[in-house]
Structure 1
Amino acid sequence: MENRSWTPAQLLELSGSYWSTCALHAAVKLKVFTCAATPQAATEIARKCGCDLRGLTMLLNAMCGLGLMEKSGDTYVNTPFANEYLSQSSPKYLGHIIMHHHHLVASWGRLDEAVRTGSKVRVPSSHDSDPSEQESFLMGMFNLAMQLAPKIVPQIDLKGRRRLLDLGGGPGTYAIHFCRENPELSAVICDLPTTRAFAEKTVASFGLSDRIEFVARDFDTDELPRGFDVAWLSHILHSWGPEGCRQLLKKAVKTLEPGGLILVQEFVLDDTKDGPLFPTLFSLNMLIGTSQGQAYSEGELKDLLSEAGVTYVRRIPLQLPNGSGVIGGVVKG
């Protein structure tokens, strides 16, 4: 648990911080940063974004207040940071994950109901029902993974291993980075059929279609492909309750040859479960959107892996944001 001394001013700042969040979401949704990559008059940005001039000017001024845009007279332009991460023309664009956050706002407004009843309030699932929300979710996962994969992949030794299963891999970001880091490695992305188009497009953009394939599977009902010597599960277990995790890990272990390596990445709680902050909040996000999902502690994840027949279970020493961690071990021979 983080010890913090609060003041009334800080408490009220926290309570109203959603104003800034919603302003950012609106600017991304309206493609304001894409239109303001170069200096533009407010009238021109309003025309390009299809917005009312009065409303758009207020939003532009708020983005200046947040330090994401700069203003000179009636002319606005992104800061270099905003050009790099908020303009759709940038390869580092983070707008997809920001839009995924936007699609969660309505259900977070019903958190009290979810806590009172213990039931999810996001119905139907935000990334199953609407194509634009599905794209925001899948490509948002790509955004996040592109931030983390370069920090994780070089520190995991896959020397001598030839075939990797990216289970629930979405667009395949980790499969891509593992294959780029290990030239003799091939990979299979295993996810729902609706993910195929996003994954194949992403893999092709990295020129790895000859080494990475997509296999459609429903984890709840389908058997998984076999014959791998590495299984990677990134942010998958939190969607299930403990029993669901047990069943999925048993399936994952069956995909591996004896001596195979299984690696699980999650937002990891302390064993006391009162920190770090992000995993505690992420657990609430799972309460809102899933029937049994939650964040898990390091001890719980290690126990789940051991129960599935994994030995030499340990947490890989990585310095990652938001309490993210990687725990893995070896399947018995």
Structure 2
Amino acid sequence: METTTWTPAELLKLSGSYWQTCTLHAGVKLDLFTKLTEQSRSAAELAAALAIPERGLAMLLDALAALELLRKEGENYAATAFAAAFLDRNAPGYLGHIILHHHHLVESWSRLDEAVRSGSPVRRRASHDAGEAEREAFLMGMFNLANLLAPKVAAQVDLAGRRHLLDLGGGPGTYAIHFCRRNPQLRATIVDLPTTRPFAEETVARFGLSERIDFVAGDFNDDAIPGAFDVAWLSHVLHSEGPQPCAQLLAKAVAALEPGGLLLVQEFILDATRTSPLFPALFSLNMLIGTPDGQSYSEPELAAMLREAGLQAVERIPLELPNGAGVMVGRKP
């Protein structure tokens, strides 16, 4: 059912919305919000501190004030309360990592037509092939996003009595952390690429859980999964792969589960028509741009994958999550 009433004005607003996006990205890249949380400054003072020309900086500061992320009082600029909470690098709620990850995607998204014509990715995979700064933005950006949702998910996924969780492709371990915080009897193992280890171990240590959460380096597509687990968590892993690698990965995860073990999959989930919700449909294009075979999957497709992997009692857990995210669960006989 159509819910959008398109007009020429709305169409052109959508077409030019990247202006606002790029303005935000520039403010984060230059770390303006941190500096303007510390103290208010004029454009001239900030330009001198950054050793950059005042002209362009003043224009950027005015645009950020127009976006209501900065306040302008006389000649001085200061971060708003919202910007101080989420865009100051020193704030616990800092979202700059995921914003920088979005920034690294912009160039490849401008080449979406090339990806559609070729059917092949037009950018490097941040998890595998990127440089250190881009990898940090990706991994800690995943922490930014997951840290907003993981406490809610952990509170509504029943792991009572479960002892050992496999966080497969867990990145910095955000969900392992929150599942362990919620379930004192639980320990966890994060399995991810060797380049992820320092980010995971630092994040786990920050939450004081190094004694309960360990890290195993490996490529889950090629390497065996060590250990035995009574619950496995795959968060936003399957969308990076095509159907056949997904089937192989799920079979490998199920094999690592003890009888009666749970397997939980979190993804951006399309409905059966594959035309809604909007975010998973757009995210599928993000996978086209960045992976050989990745895509968003529909709820019926994910349910079929879990059953074909040998799981029973497959269902979607009733959770209200943003951007069409959802959690599917199945039990090993």
Question: 1:159 corresponds to which letter in structure 2?
Answer: A
Q: Does 2:24 match 1:24?
A: yes
State the distance in 2 between where 1:112 and 1:49 align: 37
Shift of 1:220: 1.9
Q: Partners of 1:130 and 1:2 in 2: how far apart?
A: 42
Match status 1:69 vs 2:70: yes
How far, CA to CA, are the matches of 1:258 and 1:25 in structure 2?
A: 48
Counterpart residue number, 2:316: 315
The structural deviation recorded for 1:44 is 2.0
Asked if 2 retains the 8 angstrom alpha-carbon contact of 1:32 and 1:49, the reply is no
| Contact 1:233–1:264 (CA under 8 A) maintained in structure 2 | yes
Measure, in 2, the Cα distance between the counterparts of 1:47 and 1:91.
28
Provide the alpha-carbon RMSD of the alignment. Answer: 0.9
What corresponds to 2:161 in structure 1? 160
SS in 2 for 1:129: coil
Supply the distance in 1 between the matched residues of 2:182 and 2:2 (Cα, whole angstroms). Answer: 36
Indicate if the aligned counterparts of 2:191 and 2:220 stay in contact, CA closer than 8 A: no
**Pairing 1:231-250 to 2, within 5 Å after superposition:** 231-250=232-251
Measured against aligned partners, the alpha-carbon deviations of 1:248-293 in whole angstroms (never above 9, x if no partner) come to 0001101100000000000000110001000000000000000000
Contact 1:46 1:52 in 2 (8 A): yes
2:3 and 2:146 map into 1 onto residues whose CA distance is: 30
Superposition map of 1:138-157 within 5 A: 138-157=139-158
1:9 corresponding residue in structure 2:
9
Equivalent residue letter for 1:5: T
Q: Deviation digits for residues 100-147 of structure 1, max 9, x if unmatched?
A: 00000110010001111111111x323422100000000000000001
- The aligned residue for residue 180 of structure 1 is 181
How many angstroms does 1:50 deviate by? 3.2
Q: Deviation at 1:2?
A: 4.9
- Please state whether the residue corresponding to 2:167 is helix, strand or coil: strand
Scaled by the length of structure 1, the TM-score of the pair is 0.98
Mapped contact 1:138–1:171 kept (Cα < 8 A): yes
Contact 1:226 1:254 in 2 (8 A): no
Q: CA deviation at 1:40?
A: 1.5
Distance in 2 between residues matched to 1:55 and 1:185, nearest whole Å: 52
1:219, CA displacement in angstroms?
1.3
1:172–1:202 CA contact under 8 A, matched in 2:
yes
Q: Could you tell me the percent identity over the aligned residues?
A: 63
- Structure 1: give runs of 5+ residues left out of the alignment: none
* C-alpha deviation, 1:89, in angstroms: 1.1
Residues 1:103 and 1:2: Cα distance change in structure 2 (over 3 Å): farther
Partner deviation per Cα, 1:280-310 (whole Å, 9 max, x = no partner): 0000000000000000000000000000001
Q: Secondary structure of the residue that 2:234 maps to in structure 1? A: strand
Task: Give the TM-score normalised by the residue count of structure 2.
Answer: 0.98
Rounded to whole Å, the distance in 2 between the matches of 1:17 and 1:258 is 51
Asked whether the equivalents of residues 2 and 275 of structure 1 are also in contact (C-alpha less than 8 Å), the reply is no
Residue type of the alignment partner of 1:311: Q
Q: Per the alignment, do residues 132 and 2 of structure 1 end up closer, same or farther by CA in structure 2, a change over 3 Å counting?
A: farther
| Structure 2: distance between partners of 1:50 and 1:107 | 30
Please identify runs of 4+ aligned residues in structure 1 that moved more than 2 A: 47-51, 124-129
- 1:32-59 CA distance string (max 9 Å, x none): 1111103212222223333211111100
Q: Which amino acid aligns with 2:125?
A: S
